[in-house]
Amino acid sequence: MSPSPNASFGSQTADRSFDFAITGGTVVLPAGPTQINVGIKDGLIAALSVAPIQAHQTIDATGHFVLPGGVDSHCHMDQQPWEGRSTADDFRTGTLSGMCGGNTTVIPFAMQMRGQSMRDVVEDYHLRASKKAHIDYGFHLIVGDPTPEVLSKELPALIEQGCTSIKIFLTYEGLKLDDYEILTVLELARKEGALVMVHAENEACIRWLTDRLLERRKTALRYHVTAHSDIGEREATYRAISFSELIETPIMIVHVSSGLVVEEIRRAQARGLPIYAETCPQYLFLSSDDINTADMSGAKCVCTPPPRDPSNQPAMWRGVLDGTLSIFSSDHSPWNYSDKIAGGPDAPFTDIPNGIPGIETRLPLLFSATQFDAPPENRLTLNEFVDLTTTRPAKLYGLYPRKGVIALGSDADFAIWDPNKVVTIRNELLHHAVDHTPYEGRQVRGWPITTISRGEIVYDKGEVRSQAGRGLFLPCKRPFTPQREPSSLLTG
């Protein structure tokens, strides 16, 4: 493809030398895929030119796509032990795996539980990440105990320091907030210009269904899906939307798993409410059938919310295709299979840790499905693929245009894709510290073969060139303008 006649590119002189150049590839710019050369200087994109670029180092990307480095805005790594157990990936292996899957930025979670200082949790997380991360990272804040100290001092200070997104839970002991606490956190987000992410499941529904199932000795893995009903997910989503409307502040409904929830979000968006939503690979490529196995192997696919009945997937894909679902993230939550089945072959579904790995396979799964596997009317353009996986996360979490786009002055973060490379996903090919992948044996077409972070080749054709600790903390801008006045209900 040739450049648009209206495109604006950096000037190029014959005697100017760049640190690095990418030539010959199809570069996915905001205006569309373009045959153009990229010049990099001091870790930034310094030129986009149809003319030849002189550089100390050059990659020939002929026949390949050059995309902005992926932004995985929902992943868990090096998190404090959950219920006495730790997930498999720390910042070293988690960011390595993400990097080898075409990502250059991750935003994991600093998790506060009841009785903890949010500030202390973030300080600990900084120490963990600074020594281990291969690629750049920001932090979401999980608020599990919104005390007056946290609300009046710690959160405003942390938002000012660049942690501008807050996740809250409507379920899970030790993390769930009651309705009053939810409203109070939303009020704070409105005042500070932060974005609240909501894990929307109804705690009472889960507890009631679980108790009744256990009373009837229905303990097999498949009952995990029953206990985490999509009706309960829909109710919690509607409640979160209602609270967002009351306080007049945007929210992000994370890991949407159900067509019922997609419809609820679509209705809210149609009314003009600033409701954003995210889904993940497990809800498009796995189903309840993958959990309902004769042995314990279904534990590999246990997460919350769970993958739904296969009949649910068309509604999920419609949400992706029509933009109701704004972001596609991994929700990488890496438990070893050996830990999942530690309770033995008769362990009840309640004993299986929730979460699956997916940071390295996120982009290839969606790329293959939306560029090749789907019928033409259900395919995404390259720009739509980039928006869903990279640009929108960067915008909604305050990292754009430093991240998420190929543009002059942006960080020189790229994933170079071989669109015709066919890969059968095997755990032995992946770089995480997990002993399995739920996508074992799945064949995909299209794979990121080179990852460039701030102008440095960190992964190239199977060779890891990065060193742990090179990743930088990214202070995120406020995604929304702070609203100091109270909501209109209190001023009428």
Order the strands of the 140-142 sheet from edge to edge: 109-111, 140-142, 165-169, 195-199, 251-253, 275-279, 327-328
pLDDT for 423-457, tens place per residue? 999 999 999 999 999 999 999 999 999 999 999 99
SS3 114: coil
Report d(CA 39, CA 49) in Å as an integer.
Answer: 8
pLDDT for 366-425, tens place per residue? 999 999 998 888 899 999 999 999 999 999 999 999 999 999 999 999 999 999 999 999
Token couple for 18? 């760049």
CATH 3.20.20.140 boundaries in the chain: 70-396
CATH 2.30.40.10 boundaries in the chain: 17-68+402-464
Report the share of the chain in percent with pLDDT over 70: 96
Peptide bond into 376 cis (omega under 30): no
Report d(CA 171, CA 203) in Å as an integer.
Answer: 5
Report d(CA 127, CA 95) in Å as an integer.
Answer: 15
What are the CA-CA distances from residue 61 to residues 1, 22, 71 (Å)? 14, 7, 21
Query: Which residues of 375-460 form beta strands (DSSP E)?
Result: 414-424, 443-453, 456-460
Residue 482 near residue 191 (C-beta atoms within 8 A): yes
Please provide the average confidence, as pLDDT, over all residues in the chain. Answer: 95
Fold exhibited by the domain 70-396: TIM Barrel (3.20.20)
Half-sphere exposure (Cβ direction) of 420: Cα atoms closer than 13 Å:
3
SS3 460: strand
pLDDT for 212-227, tens place per residue? 999 999 999 999 999 9
Report d(CA 320, CA 323) in Å as an integer.
Answer: 5
pLDDT for 272-316, tens place per residue? 999 999 999 999 999 999 999 999 999 999 999 999 999 999 999
Angle in degrees, 0-180, between the axes of helices 259-270 and 313-321, rounded to the nearest 10:
30
pLDDT for 118-151, tens place per residue? 999 999 999 999 999 999 999 999 999 999 999 9
CATH for 17-68+402-464 is 2.30.40.10
pLDDT for 44-76, tens place per residue? 999 999 999 999 999 999 999 999 999 999 999
Report d(CA 340, CA 299) in Å as an integer.
Answer: 6
Read off the pTM. 0.95
Report d(CA 355, CA 367) in Å as an integer.
Answer: 23
- List Cβ neighbours of 381 (8 Å cut-off, separation of 6 or more): none
Residue 73 near residue 327 (C-beta atoms within 8 A): yes
